[in-house]
Amino acid sequence: MAHSYVSSVFHIVFSTKGRTQLIRADLQPRLWNYMAAIARNHGVRVLAVGGTTDHVHVLVELPAEAKLAEVVRTVECNSSRWVREKCPIFQWQQGYGAFSVSPSQVERVKQYVRNQAKHHRTRSFEDEFVAMLEAARLSYKREQAFG
């Protein structure tokens, strides 16, 4: 075959350390845009970014040569440095969730990511994340997931 064809879409979720509510509402749009720019600068197609005061969702399409863990690390490190200029105690929690997304579900996941504030009026981050782990059939221990 003369070309490689890869569909590699991931819904990535990570939280602030201890799920401390440090991402103020006025900072969120700028942080989401900054995170998207970091990813784009590394060749990643960003489809949506959203979140709340204690966590973020990023929907991305990775190029064939990209490594998921490196993309997450790059976005976390650079965005963390940027947020600490405004909030010196800011840190991301170690670890993350990454869930593959079928092309037929991309639009639905985009809307989900963009509507996080509304979604979290009725559901906690912990409940949301556990539901995502279970839907992906990933084994987990709750105390390790939220340690």
pLDDT, one tens digit per residue, over 11-23 is: 999 999 999 999 9
Residue 3 domain flag = no
Residue 70 domain flag = yes
CA nearest neighbour of 20 among 77, 75, 90, 70: 90
Residue 1 domain flag = no
Confidence of residue 147 (pLDDT cuts 50, 70, 90): low
Residue 4 domain flag = no
pLDDT tops 70 at residue 38: yes
pLDDT, one tens digit per residue, over 60-78 is: 999 999 999 999 999 999 9
The boundaries of the domain holding residue 120 are 9-145
What is the predicted pLDDT for the residue at 58? 98
Residue 37 domain flag = yes
CA angle 57, 128, 9 (to 5 degrees): 40
Residue 116 domain flag = yes
Rounded Cα distance, 74 and 86, in Å: 19
* Best mean pLDDT range from 9-13, 113-117, 142-146: 9-13
Domain count, the chain: 1
